[in-house]
Structure 1
């Protein structure tokens, strides 16, 4: 067995400092039947917004400041005020709502009607819909910006969207490796879910994906974390932002450990209102890791929201066109998808088990300091 290097030991101690609220195990349910019947979940992170039904410009309502923070978080209000947001329904909030309604194919009224609020409170991806003041959706409509006087900066092709500057993995890349945060100690069943999610993208592109035991050496690094975990994008508990991933070639992919993740079984039949399908979220976030932004095509996996107890893993035509624009098509792709799990990397000098054991030891030593 290869002895852990001094470099690895230092990195092991740095992880708790940079990911101060990382958790050892996420809320992962092996299947829907394992959910406890007496478990009483709390409401979703944004359920209180339902109280704003019917609010419009000129109103003042307790809590509207929180809704403004929501819209700022996802890019609809470009700049925060020097102090806290007010509870006034002002012009900026109305403009944000209209843009949001346009992106999600709702009636553009600027009013917080029931349909708009129903969409707002759904669990969603933590990646913003509007980046650098430019909306990234609009279902194939012309490029738009937050300011009508500025020129569009986000590249939109058909319905799918790409990040500003169209970042992608380097030309000629054929294989990307991925690894899991050692502190999560994920089961083989969970790893197979991610393998299946990567396989869905590999089926339609020239890219392949391989799991590796080397977390620090992997192209893509996956982990379950809670709250403020050191990347400037804190998680907010059950049924808020489910996960987020960064554009190429950053490689970070984080999931909220507070969610009730269902690993296998029919999530639509779960008795738990807060059950979230792990593969559905993984497929979406991998799209971001490869360079896709959000789509306003509701059938696309790159649509920003997904209801609890819903499975959505099949790439839509919009997703396939977007990823093939970036990386070309798999020569074996015939227009239909059928997933197969990629081979795991078993050739690494240090096995995943030994690496996890080493990190567990390092963390325990750190706790005693």
Structure 2
């Protein structure tokens, strides 16, 4: 039994012949490939206090405001709606011009545009698209995630309403990828970066993807200029930030939030560098976000967790570099 069949069985997939993934409501997504830079992420930095590890000290989630908005619907005026609008804007769900036309910091009205944005978010993550902030929507919005927006210029390639047996992987516009002739992709960390970061990425993230792409990965230390893949840490933009973000081929830039509690492995109250690195390396290699919760390219991740590739990730990378 080959590796792909074993993965399929482990994830509860039925093996059916298929093409290059399914299309999603004909909605294309224009998002960071080449040298295109993603917008500043507004993602969550820490999990909320509720955890499987109640004795671990945690910061309050910067998205605590979402919890008291549960049940909000069109027409409601509740303090904190303006923060919801900022969240939806940063991940591409609310139009820039719409926000510029309003005093958003003082606008706590859940209007038609905001309802439409909530529905789009719910569709992308296979939630019931009611436009109401139900418990499932609030719970997901509160979780830490990748900083790459789900929508840019009003378009998305994330799947909606797909079944568990459908491939949900997506590529960047034009399906950019690294030339197979390279054989080896070099990677480096910025000078001064903790060495355990390199160990985590080298020992887990690159080894996982190595089985799915026609490349080997070579660590070249702190030569963050000539390397194909350049890894660095930067301070997040305020308390409302994402864990990390990356650019698509062939930019090779991968940035982690320096303010987070990182670990090499699943440690209570910390984020596993290997797992987050695995997701961001998927972007660097050419995969966009997936709407499959079992995929590493699903944009949300919790702390105290180490995850590997899902079948959807494997299929996607194999299709890109076929």
State TM-score, norm by structure 2: 0.76
Rg: which structure is higher?
1
Match of 1:356 in 2: none
Match of 1:327 in 2: 321
Structure 2 CA distance for aligned equivalents of residues 310 and 165 of structure 1: 33
Aligned counterparts, 1:1-369, within 5 A: 40-79=57-96, 80-85=99-104, 86-139=107-160, 158-184=167-193, 186-187=194-195, 189-195=196-202, 196-213=204-221, 214-227=223-236, 234=237, 236=239, 240-264=241-265, 266-267=266-267, 270=268, 272=269, 275-312=270-307, 314-328=308-322
Judged with a 3 Å threshold, the aligned counterparts in structure 2 of structure 1 residues 166 and 323 are, in CA distance, closer, same or farther, namely same
Judged with a 3 Å threshold, the aligned counterparts in structure 2 of structure 1 residues 139 and 321 are, in CA distance, closer, same or farther, namely farther
Structure 2 CA distance for aligned equivalents of residues 166 and 72 of structure 1: 25
Judged with a 3 Å threshold, the aligned counterparts in structure 2 of structure 1 residues 158 and 40 are, in CA distance, closer, same or farther, namely closer
CA shift for structure 1 position 83: 4.2
Secondary structure of 1:176's counterpart equals strand
CA shift for structure 1 position 56: 0.2
Secondary structure of 1:318's counterpart equals helix
Secondary structure of 1:241's counterpart equals coil
- Runs of 4+ in structure 1 off by over 6 angstroms are none
* 2:180/2:215 contact within 8 Å kept: no
How many pairs align?
A: 260
* More moved, 43-52 vs 168-177: 168-177
User: Which blocks of at least 5 consecutive residues in structure 2 are unaligned?
Assistant: 1-54
Structure 1 CA distance for aligned equivalents of residues 103 and 170 of structure 2: 32
Cα RMSD of the aligned pairs, angstroms, is 2.0
Cα deviation, 1:299-350, whole Å, max 9, x if unaligned, reads 00000101222221x211110111111113xxxxxxxxxxxxxxxxxxxxxx
User: Which blocks of at least 5 consecutive residues in structure 1 are unaligned?
Assistant: 1-36, 142-156, 228-233, 329-369
CA shift for structure 1 position 235: 6.1
Match of 2:3 in 1: none
